[in-house]
Copies of this chain bind each other. A is one copy, B any other.
Amino acid sequence: MSHYYRLVVSCPDRRGIVARVSGFIAGHGGSITEASQHSDLESGRFFMRYEILADSIGMTSSELKEAFEPVAREFDMTWALRDTRRRPRVAIMVSRESHCLVDLLYRWTAGELEGDVVGVISNHDDMRSLVEWHGLPYFHVPVAADDKLAAFDEVERCVEALEADVVVLARYMQILPPRLCERYAGRVINIHHSFLPSFAGARPYHQAHSRGVKLIGATCHYVTEELDAGPIIEQDIHRVSHCHTPQDLVRFGRDVEKAVLARGLRWHLEDRVLIHGNKTVVFA
């Protein structure tokens, strides 16, 4: 099967970036199979993502990176180049609700994700059998109210041991400490069970029910120190009516959460999400 070199760039916008980068790739015989660009007129920043057929270039990804380095420097780029054969490693963290976990495990086994789930960390032991049936290690790390730091040290060791590139909070009902947020900045993806910024905080479906809204939603975002305020990757909604109880909202919510988290993770794994201050550029 073909593999690709995926080049993701952000830099101050100026003339000639596309010409320089595409010229560089063409100069090495590279075949571009997918190209996306965006100029943010407000901030004057430029974003691009190229998918290059690896076989069309007679270089390893390391060689290509080295060759690209001067171009990157010239345009003051923040950039990354990844060989898609190097599949990102995904650690999933859950609490007691399994819907997002079941969904992600299905998508992984069905080959829908360009990455591999490598293990699950939970503050409860409920999902062990499910996870182990999928042949994955399960780490039960209880989070005691009076000793959270110790627990999160253990979580951090698990993430390290799994050599995870991405951590997915698939309804992990604990707040990560600042140290973890910072260390894995841009690599921890959360699903929030609300259409943020509405109903940030606890029990959003009950809040939504009591406000009488006609739509509920879910938000997939990167985790930052400020709770529920990180860059949004994806959102979606589900229609509700006066007929529906808070329990119905929870049930509908599960479906939206699964869908939104799966899309967000998928795009992240395919290097389609570029963080830009507190916002994202998503080349979906």
Q: Copies of this chain, how many? A: 4
A25: Cβ under 8 A from any B Cβ: yes
26 chain-A/chain-B pairs, Cβ below 8 angstroms: A15-B26, A16-B26, A18-B18, A18-B26, A20-B26, A22-B23, A34-B37, A35-B37, A40-B242, A41-B245, A98-B106, A98-B110, A102-B102, A195-B198, A195-B215, A196-B213, A197-B211, A211-B232, A211-B279, A212-B231, A212-B278, A214-B234, A214-B235, A242-B279, A242-B282, A255-B259
A106-B102, A235-B213 given as contacts; is B199 within 8 A of A242 (CB)? no
CB of A256 to closest CB in B, whole Å = 11
Q: Which residues of B contact A235 (CB under 8 A)?
A: 213-215
State whether B213 touches A215 (Cβ < 8 A): no
Q: Is the interface of A mostly helix, strand, loop or mixed?
A: mixed
Q: Bound complex: CA of A235 vs CA of B213, how far in Å?
A: 8
Closest to A246 in B: B42
CB 8 Å contact bits of A225-266 with B (1 = contact, 0 = none) = 000000111111100011101000001001100010000000
Q: Bound complex: CA of A82 vs CA of B18, how far in Å?
A: 21
By size class, the interface of chain A is 35 or more
Residues 120-142 (chain A) with a chain B CB within 8 angstroms: 133
Q: Please list the residues of chain A having a beta carbon within 8 angstroms of any beta carbon in chain B.
A: 15-16, 18-20, 22-23, 25-27, 29-35, 37-41, 56, 98-99, 102-103, 106, 110, 112, 133, 195-199, 211-215, 217, 231-237, 241-243, 245, 251, 254-255, 259, 276, 278-282, 284
